């Protein structure tokens, strides 16, 4: 007998070649490099006093990070700073050591360098923080001071870190984020924090970015500050004259003689409107990620039930049926509890980790798998023949759904590190994408079976913008829905997204079930009904 159940409590996509699992290895690599560096210092301590100071600082850092690497890396600031250290600071250190080479240290660096993040990885980590900033409406100061939900480590961004964040955005012509991060660098600088970057450089980037955001009065005020600090600055004088001339022209067009002085209020989140982008449902999608706009009414809740599911008296489920919970009524989305055991999860992750590569999507025109900026995760594909656990998981999916997995795609394992996401998309191919799955020869994706293989401290929900649902990861559970109506037409309501992971690490496994072989398991119908 089915009975009403309590739904899961609603809790309030980083680009990198490194998922969290591989970044954990980098933590130990960094620790090993610190040890190598300390041994080198012992040999030439008098000559390398500066290097020794640097090593001591890194030693303290790695002691904290190696105590619990996964928890440490769950903080997005730690993830970004690890990228930055290994790409920038260690390279600077290498140059210093090369002034008086030490075979032991340099050879150690050479061995590990092939696994180091590069400039693109550091840039991607910075973009991840900005993505989280936008999605969860976090101001730059929250990140700078490490004020994030669910964090276990204190991690701060220095003046120079904030400056580098702003410069990354500036170089991408992303003046909105450049303003936010240069302003944060200036705020911390004015508060007396130590810094290497000059105030003139910060004001230079900030004033021009503010101008690009259309705020001429404030751009003029900031440029005047820059001129006061460095009257011989290469661009400041020319920029100031140009801004003042432009403002004068605007005032004349508006028949105004005097411009109100620029506000002294500091720039913060909301001062400037975030530019629109290519995603029409951006606001709805990000709102759902924050837990806003979820359309779970009392009437809808009363139609949701829990039940024991035996797969239509499947022999493998009779003695131990699955616990099934309704997550949504229409389209019908269900969650299965205890769909994967802890040991199965660990085995799947063990098999997948060596193969993790940048996640791909199928090009709708060619059917070829390719990377896309709107999907930010690492993935691997596992065959049933590789290990009894994979075969068992595939069989369990077949038993639960009643659909054959013989024509399904391989089990896809995805790892979303901090900032990892998959923006709103359809799992099935639309009418204008007739060749999306042509090479598979198994028809369209009729259903999706999604296993959650980890809990996530903050963020990482699966959201459906069309009807306002948010489903949160819970380790060992799985959610299931149909992508196609019985008529074979796509259910456009099932457009969904994986929200960026704010704190933690998200592991999932996907099984996309195709049409071929389901003729007698899910017979066709003439109407578009669930």
Distance of CA 519 to the CA centre of its chain: 38
Q: What Å distances lie between residue 244 and 95, 96, 192, 259, CA to CA? A: 44, 45, 31, 11
What is this structure's pTM? 0.81
Contact by Cβ (8 Å): 138, 289: no
SS3 content of the chain, % helix, strand, coil (to 5): 45, 15, 40
The position carrying tokens 């250290």 is 85
Q: Which residues contact 332 (CB under 8 A, 6 or more apart)?
A: 326, 481, 482, 530
- Give the confidence band of 474 by pLDDT, cuts at 50, 70, 90: very high
Point out the least confidently predicted range of 382-386, 418-422, 423-427: 418-422
Query: How close are the terminal C-alpha atoms of the chain, in Å?
Result: 21
In this prediction, residue 328 carries a pLDDT of: 97
CA 469 to chain CA centroid, Å, is: 20
Residue 513 pLDDT level (bands cut at 50, 70, 90):
very high
- The yes-or-no verdict on residue 3 having pLDDT over 50 is no
Quote the CA–CA distance of 396 and 511 in Å, as a whole number: 11
Residue pLDDT, tens place only, 381-408: 999 999 999 999 999 999 999 999 999 9
Q: Backbone phi, then psi, for 264, in 5-degree steps?
A: -90, 0
- The more confident residue out of 50 and 229 is 229
Dihedrals phi, psi of 349, to nearest 5 degrees: -65, -40
Which pLDDT belongs to residue 368?
A: 53
Residue that wins the pLDDT comparison between 19 and 169? 169
- Please report where in the chains the tokens 């005047």 appear, as a residue: 224
Q: What is the DSSP letter of 451?
A: E
Tokens of 232: 């011989």
What are the phi and psi torsion angles at 380 (to 5°)? -145, 155
Picking from 2, 3, 7, the residue whose alpha carbon sits closest to that of residue 297 is: 7
């Amino acid at each position: 007998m089915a009975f009403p159940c309590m739904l899961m409590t609603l809790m309030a996509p980083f680009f990198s070649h490194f998922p969290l699992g591989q970044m954990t290895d980098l933590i130990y690599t960094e620790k090993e490099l610190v040890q190598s560096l300390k041994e080198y210092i012992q040999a030439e301590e008098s000559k390398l006093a500066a290097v020794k100071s640097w090593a001591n600082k890194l030693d303290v850092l790695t002691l904290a990070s190696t105590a619990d690497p996964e928890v440490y890396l769950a903080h997005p600031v730690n993830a970004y700073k690890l990228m930055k250290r290994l790409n920038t600071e260690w390279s600077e250190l290498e140059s210093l050591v090369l002034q008086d080479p030490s075979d032991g240290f340099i050879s150690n660096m050479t061995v590990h360098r092939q696994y180091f993040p590069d400039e693109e990885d550091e840039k991607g980590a910075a973009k991840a923080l900005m993505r989280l900033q936008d999605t969860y409406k976090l101001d730059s100061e929250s990140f700078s001071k490490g004020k994030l939900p669910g964090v276990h480590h204190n991690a701060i961004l220095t003046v120079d870190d904030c400056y580098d964040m702003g410069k990354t955005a500036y170089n991408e012509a992303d003046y909105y984020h450049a303003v936010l991060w240069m302003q944060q660098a200036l705020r911390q600088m004015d508060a007396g924090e130590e810094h290497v970057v000059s105030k003139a450089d910060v004001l230079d980037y900030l004033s021009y970015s503010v101008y690009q955001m259309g705020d001429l009065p404030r751009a003029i005020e900031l440029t005047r500050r820059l001129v006061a600090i460095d009257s011989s600055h290469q661009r400041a004088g020319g920029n100031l004259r140009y801004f003042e001339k432009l403002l004068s022209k605007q005032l004349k067009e508006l028949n105004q003689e005097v411009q109100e002085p620029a506000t002294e209020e500091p720039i913060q989140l909301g001062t400037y409107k975030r530019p629109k982008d290519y995603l029409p449902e951006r606001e709805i999608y990000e709102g759902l990620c924050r837990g806003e706009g979820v359309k779970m009414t009392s009437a809808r809740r009363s139609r949701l039930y829990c039940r024991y599911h035996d797969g239509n008296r499947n022999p493998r489920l009779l003695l131990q049926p699955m616990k099934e919970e309704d997550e949504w009524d229409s389209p019908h989305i269900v969650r299965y509890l205890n769909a994967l055991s802890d040991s199965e999860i660990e085995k799947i992750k063990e098999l997948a980790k060596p193969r993790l590569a940048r996640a791909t999507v199928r090009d709708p025109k060619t059917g070829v798998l390719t990377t896309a900026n709107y999907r930010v995760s690492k993935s691997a594909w596992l065959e049933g023949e590789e290990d009894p656990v994979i075969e068992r998981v595939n069989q369990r999916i077949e038993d639960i759904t009643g659909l054959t997995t013989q024509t399904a795609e391989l089990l896809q394992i995805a790892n979303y590190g901090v900032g990892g996401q998959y923006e709103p998309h359809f799992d099935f191919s639309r009418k204008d994408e007739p060749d999306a799955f042509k090479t598979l020869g198994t028809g369209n994706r009729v259903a999706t079976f999604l296993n959650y293989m980890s809990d996530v401290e903050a963020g990482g929900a699966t959201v459906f913008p069309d009807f306002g649902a948010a489903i949160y990861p819970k380790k060992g559970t799985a959610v299931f829905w149909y992508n196609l109506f019985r008529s074979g037409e796509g259910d456009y309501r099932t457009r969904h997204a994986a929200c960026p992971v704010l704190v933690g690490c998200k592991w999932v496994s996907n099984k996309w079930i195709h049409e071929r072989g389901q003729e007698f398991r899910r017979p066709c119908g003439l109407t578009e009904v669930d």
